[in-house]
């Protein structure tokens, strides 16, 4: 298949593996490289890249799954709104089984809540137009990848003068989370595989502080096996040279250093940074987005106050530590027993991009 097989060529893969192994021959320990993208996590597991590089490179999965890092209090508020008779919750399907403290949206829908699974936030606008007596709340989560589409949706709602459409904004920013990771005393990170989707929006410049201040190489890469192997080789090459760490773009077919100026402009018009809670990482300064005051009429938290239960976490779930890269799914006592895709206890098993889901499907086969 054109534009696909080129990035799955086994001969090229073997050559890249050979380059990585040759470059690292004689290194006293494995180097630790972290990816912060759920699509990378799945691709690495599917291709068995971690096993191929064992003994030379230790691949760590970081907080790259937006569903997984969404904290319980966000879901608890969504559940509280879902229990209101005049509210319709609109959401992508992967949010349905994300656990809150005592419930999730799937259970609430079974109990009679009005919850619509949509494939685009614009569908939520259509629901609001069709149901003027209801308040429609769209659950907006994700990183910089999806924030511009939500910004465009809010502008569309204003143009239509909708008074019953709201956004529950849970967007996160990746670079501040990476800063928190490199300052984590339990972690040693020698290089970062940076997310391709996010970087198509923000470009390469926002990662430069990691290379400059922490001397950690960063490579932005695509999602096919050869993309990832080449990115690993580029990181290894930087480490072996011992020169100043830099930010490189392997994914040149989609990412430019300045990113997407139009998308960034739209984000800046609609949102402003705020301290935000990440599952497993706690509160990270200026790592989230809230709706600007000029568009606050669409902010569900400000316009629709609701009583929310006290937030609680499952005491045995290790999702928080798995998202930080300090534990593996197999370390969790719930993994493959109580926690599985049919009965997910933690969000890392719920999401199709979660580390636990990747391990369940592809590891130890």
Share of the chain above pLDDT 70, in %: 98
What does the pLDDT average to over 110-126? 97
Which tens digits make up the pLDDT trace of 74-91?
999 999 999 999 999 999
Does the pLDDT value for residue 65 go beyond 60?
Answer: yes
Burial bucket for residue 324 (CB in 10 Å: 0-12, 13-18, 19+): buried
Q: What is the pLDDT of residue 3?
A: 60
Categorize the per-residue pLDDT at 1 as very low, low, confident or very high, splitting at 50, 70 and 90: very low
For the CA atoms of 51, 52, 57, 63, the dihedral, rounded to the nearest 10 degrees, stands at -50
pLDDT of residue 160: 97
pLDDT range class, residue 348, cuts 50, 70, 90:
very high
pLDDT in tens, 193-213: 999 999 999 999 999 999 999
Write out pLDDT tens, residues 224-262: 999 999 999 999 999 998 878 999 999 999 999 999 999
pLDDT digits (tens, 9 = 90+) for 121-171: 999 999 999 999 999 999 999 999 999 999 999 999 999 999 999 999 999
Q: Which of 335, 327, 337 is nearest to 357 (CA)?
A: 335
On the question of pLDDT at 34 being above 60, the answer is: yes
pLDDT (0 to 100) of residue 313: 87
Amino acid 75: pLDDT: 96
Task: Report CA 69 to chain centroid distance, whole Å.
Answer: 7
Is 291's pLDDT higher than 50? yes
- How confident is residue 364, by pLDDT bands cut at 50, 70 and 90? low
pLDDT category at 178 given cuts 50, 70, 90 is: very high
3-state secondary structure the chain: CCCCHHHCCHHHHHHHHHHHHHHHCCCCCCEEEEECCHHHHHHHHHHCHHHHCCCCEEEEECCCCHHHHCCHHHHHHHHHHHCCCCEEEEECHHHCCCCCCCCCHHHHHHCCCCEEECCCHHHHHHHHHHCCCCEEEEEEEECCCCHHHHHHHHHHHHHCCCCCEEEEEEEECHHHHHHHHHCCCCCCCCEEEECHHHHHHHCCHHHHHHHHHHCCCEEECCCCHHHHHHHHHHHHHHHHHCCCCCEEECCCCCCCCCCCHHHHHHHHHHEEEEEEEECCCEEEEEEEEEECHHHHHHEHHHHCCCCCCCCCCCCCCCHHHHHHCCCCHHHCCCECCCEECCECCCHHHHCCCCHHHHHHHHCCC
Mean pLDDT of the chain: 94
Per-domain residue ranges for the chain? Answer: 1-22+29-315, 319-362
CATH for the stretch 1-22+29-315:
3.40.50.11740
Among residues 87, 161, 169, 84, the alpha carbon closest in space to that of 121 is found at 169
């Amino acid at each position: 298949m054109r534009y696909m097989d080129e990035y799955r060529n086994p001969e090229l893969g073997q050559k890249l593996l050979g380059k990585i192994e040759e470059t690292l021959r004689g290194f006293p320990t494995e180097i630790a490289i972290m990816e912060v993208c759920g699509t990378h996590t799945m691709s690495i597991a599917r291709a068995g890249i971690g096993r191929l590089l064992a003994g030379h490179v230790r691949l760590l999965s970081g907080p790259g799954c937006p569903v997984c890092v969404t904290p319980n209090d966000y879901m608890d508020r969504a559940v509280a709104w879902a229990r209101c008779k005049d509210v319709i919750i609109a959401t992508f399907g992967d949010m349905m089984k994300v656990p809150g403290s005592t419930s999730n949206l799937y259970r609430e829908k079974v109990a009679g809540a009005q919850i619509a699974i949509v494939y685009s936030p614009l569908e939520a606008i259509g629901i609001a137009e069709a149901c003027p007596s209801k308040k429609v709340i769209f659950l907006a989560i994700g990183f910089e990848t999806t924030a511009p589409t939500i910004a465009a949706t809010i502008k569309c709602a204003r143009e239509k003068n909708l008074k019953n459409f709201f956004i529950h904004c849970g967007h996160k920013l990746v670079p501040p989370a990476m800063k928190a990771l490199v300052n984590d005393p339990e972690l040693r990170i020698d290089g970062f595989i940076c997310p391709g989707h996010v970087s198509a929006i923000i470009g390469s410049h926002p990662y430069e502080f990691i290379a400059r201040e922490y001397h950690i190489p960063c490579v932005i890469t695509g999602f096919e096996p050869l993309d990832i192997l080449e990115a690993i080789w580029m990181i290894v090459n930087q480490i072996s040279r011992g020169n100043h760490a830099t930010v490189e773009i392997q994914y040149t077919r989609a990412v430019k250093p300045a990113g997407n100026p139009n998308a960034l402009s739209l984000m800046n018009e609609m949102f402003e940074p705020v301290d935000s809670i990440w599952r497993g990482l706690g509160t990270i300064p200026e790592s989230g987005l809230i709706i600007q005051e000029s568009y606050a009429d669409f902010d569900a938290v400000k316009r629709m106050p609701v009583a929310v239960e006290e937030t609680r976490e499952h005491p045995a779930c290790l999702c928080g530590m798995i998202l930080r890269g300090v534990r593996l799914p197999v370390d969790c006592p719930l993994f493959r027993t109580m926690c599985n895709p049919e009965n997910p206890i933690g969000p890392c098993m719920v999401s199709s991009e979660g580390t636990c889901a990747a391990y369940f499907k592809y590891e130890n086969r």
